[in-house]
Amino acid sequence: MTTSSQPIPENWAVRFVTLWMGQAISLLGSQLVQFAIIWYLTQTTNSATTLAFASMMGLLPSVILSPFIGTWVDRGNRRLFLIAADATVAIATVILAILFTLEIVQIWHIYVVLFVRAVAGGFHQSALGASVVLLVPKEQLARVQGFTQALHGGLNIISAPLGAYLLSVLPMQGILGIDVTTALIAVTIVAFTHIPQPGKASIEPSTFWQDFAAGFRYIIAWRGLLILLGMVMAINFFYNATEPLTPLLITNHFKGGASQLGLWLALFAGGTLVGGIILGIWGGFKRKVLTAHIGLILMGLTTVTVGLVSPEMFWVGVAANTGMGLLLPIINGSFGATLQAAIAPEMQGRVFAFIMSAAMLVSPIGLIIAGPFADRFGIQPWFLIAGITCSLMGVAGFFIPDVMGIEGVDHSTASSQSVAGK
Q: What is the 3-state secondary structure (H, E, C) of 286-302?
A: CCHHHHHHHHHHHHHHH
Pair 30, 179: CB distance under 8 Å: yes
Backbone angles phi, psi at 326, to 5 degrees: -65, -40
Cα(249)–Cα(379) distance, rounded to whole angstroms? 6
pLDDT digits (tens, 9 = 90+) for 247-262: 888 888 999 887 788 7
CB count within 10 Å of CB 265 equals 19
Specify whether the backbone of 6 is left (phi greater than 0), alpha (psi in -120 to 50) or beta. beta
Question: Count of alpha carbons within 13 Å of 183, Cβ hemisphere only?
Answer: 27
CB count within 10 Å of CB 43 equals 9
Pair 90, 184: CB distance under 8 Å: yes
Cα(138)–Cα(149) distance, rounded to whole angstroms? 17
What's residue 259's pLDDT?
A: 77
pTM (2 d.p.): 0.75
What's residue 368's pLDDT?
A: 79
Pair 72, 122: CB distance under 8 Å: no
- List of domains in the chain: 12-191 (1.20.1250.20), 208-420 (1.20.1250.20)
Question: Count of alpha carbons within 13 Å of 190, Cβ hemisphere only?
Answer: 26
What's residue 1's pLDDT?
A: 40
Cα(80)–Cα(86) distance, rounded to whole angstroms? 10
Cα(330)–Cα(52) distance, rounded to whole angstroms? 30
Cα(422)–Cα(418) distance, rounded to whole angstroms? 8
Segments of the chain with pLDDT less than 70: 1-7, 9, 47-49, 52, 199-205, 408-422
Backbone angles phi, psi at 411, to 5 degrees: -105, 15
